[in-house]
Amino acid sequence: MEFPKLPPHDGPVLSVVDMHTGGEPLRVIINGYPEVTGDTVLAKRRYAREHLDHLRKVLMFEPRGHYDMYGALLVQSEIAEADIGVLFMHNEGYSTMCGHAVIALGRFAVDYGLVKSPTSPETQINIHCPCGLVKAFVEYSNGKTGAVRFHSVPAFVFATDVKVTVPGFGEITVDISYGGALYAFVNADSFRMDVSKSRTRDLVDVATAVSNAVKSQVKLHHPVSDDLAFLYGTILTDGKDAFSDEPTANICVFADAQVDRSPTGSGVTARIALQYHKGLIQLHQTRSFKSGTTEALFTGKAVQETTCGEFKAVVVEVAGHAYYTGAASFTLENSDLLKDGFLLR
């Protein structure tokens, strides 16, 4: 029998390569999507949200995905320096930055021939994310790809010591920082919780309550585009922000109560900006960040001071490993009442 033989189906076949970075899934869409139009990657993100959202649900939701699935769709970039453009998708919509995806896409781009002449010991690939150009450096030797590090867009602290009222907990103090997306940071201790030991479901509920409080009580803004001025999630930490050789743990809850299994590349970027802003880490000091869920590690360091509009900013380098888990071709049948996807909580 010819394998894989496609089952009876109606409509397009959506082909993907599945990967994970520190346990966080990445479904890279390689075929079957219609053209995503728009003059810029940010405009393409708007187009996908307005015209192609049914396909996000098909690929992210059950029965083909699950509540915490994450995806990447490669698109044309308008920037000459970019090797590829990308849109990120999750359980609620389309994010502006995703570090775990950049780490996986770095390997994918080299392994799948998107970079014409890979170089050893590292191949650079410029990935145009909705937040801007991200430079990834992929270990490459003897034809094999390995660890990936990336330099993200300028990361800055939006505000520190912001007081918000969180139902059930009263007044809580958070910091808000940007690493390609805006996050609220709070020590899990404020809720008498531990990011590595408390039940994930309890951490998700608290982080979601914080996100809702910040969204309704704090006016956010971004100097480059209004499309970047929204709170993507809340990161609960172990509070170990002062520099140390020991890893510091965090858990990121983003989009619609979605849990990152990885230490969160954009979160590490934003957290280092915060630590740098507070004088807790110096340029080029490498810190390890551990996922409270899987214990997977990323490293991160601030490598350069810069600015983003009116904000003092830093360029942050994040590094980690991604792995392939398979490839699939997804189909649907018109008579299937659940063909469009569904989520369970």
Ligand X SMILES: O=C(O)[C@H]1NCC[C@@H]1O
Active site residues: 98
Q: Quick one: DSSP state of residue 227?
A: G
Out of 130, 265, 292, 341, which residue is the one contacting ligand X (CB under 6 A)? 265
Task: DSSP for 173-212, please give it.
Answer: EEEEEESSSEEEEEEGGGGT--TTTS-HHHHHHHHHHHHH
> Which among 118-126, 146-154, 208-216, 263-271 is the span making contact with ligand X, rule CB under 6 A?
263-271
Smaller CB separation from ligand X, 255 or 332: 255
Smaller CB separation from ligand X, 52 or 104: 104
Smaller CB separation from ligand X, 118 or 130: 130
Q: CB under 8 Å to 43, separation ≥6 — which residues?
A: none
Q: Does 61 bind ligand X (CB under 6 A)?
A: no
Question: In one letter, which amino acid is 182?
Answer: L
Smaller CB separation from ligand X, 132 or 265: 265
Q: Does 300 bind ligand X (CB under 6 A)?
A: no
Task: Return d(Cα 20, Cα 305) in angstroms, integer.
Answer: 31
- Exposed/middle/buried for residue 117 (C-beta within 10 Å: 0-12, 13-18, 19+): exposed
Q: Does 24 bind ligand X (CB under 6 A)?
A: yes
Out of 158, 178, 254, 289, which residue is the one contacting ligand X (CB under 6 A)? 254
Q: Does 211 bind ligand X (CB under 6 A)?
A: no
3-state secondary structure of 266: helix
Q: Does 73 bind ligand X (CB under 6 A)?
A: no
Total site size for ligand X, rule CB under 6 A = 14
* Residues 95-114 within binding reach of ligand X (CB under 6 A): 95, 98-100
Report the nearest approach of ligand X to the CB of residue 56 (Å). 15
Buried b (16+ CB within 10 A) or exposed e, 21-59: bbbbbbbbbbebbeebebebbbebbebbeeebeebbbbb
Binding residues for ligand X (CB under 6 A): 24, 70, 95, 98-100, 252, 254, 260, 262, 264-267
